[in-house]
Amino acid sequence: MRVYRKLRRIKKKKSILKNRFFWLSILTLIILGGIFYFLIFSSFFQIEIVAISGNKKIPEREIKKIIEENIENKILFFPTKSIFLFNSNKIKEDILANYPQIAIVDVHRGFPKSLNILITERLAIAVFCKQFQIGENEKIQTEEICFLIDQEGVVFEKDQPKKDLVKIVGEKKEEGLSLGEQVIEKEYLEKILQVQKSFLEEIGIEVNEFFVFPERFNVKTTKGWEIYFSLEKEIQKQISTLSLVLEKEIPPEKRRDLEYIDLRFTRVYYKYR
User: What per-residue confidence (pLDDT) applies to 6?
Assistant: 54
Q: Are 132 and 109 contained in the same domain?
A: no
Domain boundary among 121, 156, 173: 121
Q: Are 263 and 157 contained in the same domain?
A: yes
- Nearest by Cα to 227 from 237, 236, 235, 217: 217
Domain boundary among 121, 145, 162: 121
Domain boundary among 94, 121, 148: 121
Residue 7 has pLDDT above 80, yes or no: no
Q: Are 255 and 134 contained in the same domain?
A: yes
Residue 37 has pLDDT above 70, yes or no: yes
| 4 φ, ψ (degrees, to nearest 5) | -105, 130
Query: What is the DSSP pairing of strand 73-75 with strand 49-53?
Result: unpaired
Question: Within a domain: residue 143?
Answer: yes
Q: In 10 A of CB 185, how many CB atoms?
A: 13
Q: Is 182 helix (H, G, I), strand (E, B) or coil?
A: strand
Q: Are 109 and 135 contained in the same domain?
A: no
Instruction: Tell me which of 30-39, 85-94, 152-161 is least confident.
Output: 30-39
Query: Which CATH number do you get for residue 197?
Result: 3.40.50.11690
Q: Are 132 and 114 contained in the same domain?
A: no
Question: Within a domain: residue 16?
Answer: no
- Range of the structural domain that residue 71 is part of: 48-121
- Nearest by Cα to 195 from 231, 162, 249, 163: 231
Query: Which CATH number do you get for residue 80?
Result: 3.10.20.310
Q: Are 99 and 64 contained in the same domain?
A: yes
Higher pLDDT, 122 or 39: 122
Average pLDDT of 44-51?
Answer: 93
Question: Within a domain: residue 23?
Answer: no
Long-range contacts of 8-16 (CB under 8 A, 24+ apart): none
- Nearest by Cα to 195 from 221, 163, 156, 170: 221
| CB-CB contact of 43 with 112 (8 Å) | no
Q: Are 137 and 204 contained in the same domain?
A: yes
Question: Within a domain: residue 20?
Answer: no
Q: Are 112 and 245 contained in the same domain?
A: no
Higher pLDDT, 149 or 39: 149
Q: Are 117 and 141 contained in the same domain?
A: no
Average pLDDT of 63-74?
Answer: 91
Residue 173 has pLDDT above 70, yes or no: no
pTM of the model: 0.79
Question: Within a domain: residue 227?
Answer: yes
| CB-CB contact of 206 with 222 (8 Å) | yes
Average pLDDT of 27-44?
Answer: 88
Question: Within a domain: residue 114?
Answer: yes
Q: Are 202 and 104 contained in the same domain?
A: no
Average pLDDT of 20-34?
Answer: 84
Q: Are 115 and 141 contained in the same domain?
A: no
Question: Within a domain: residue 30?
Answer: no
User: What per-residue confidence (pLDDT) applies to 141?
Assistant: 72
For the chain, the domain total comes to: 2
Beta bridge partners of 196: none
Question: Within a domain: residue 184?
Answer: yes
Q: Are 117 and 62 contained in the same domain?
A: yes
Residue 185 has pLDDT above 90, yes or no: yes
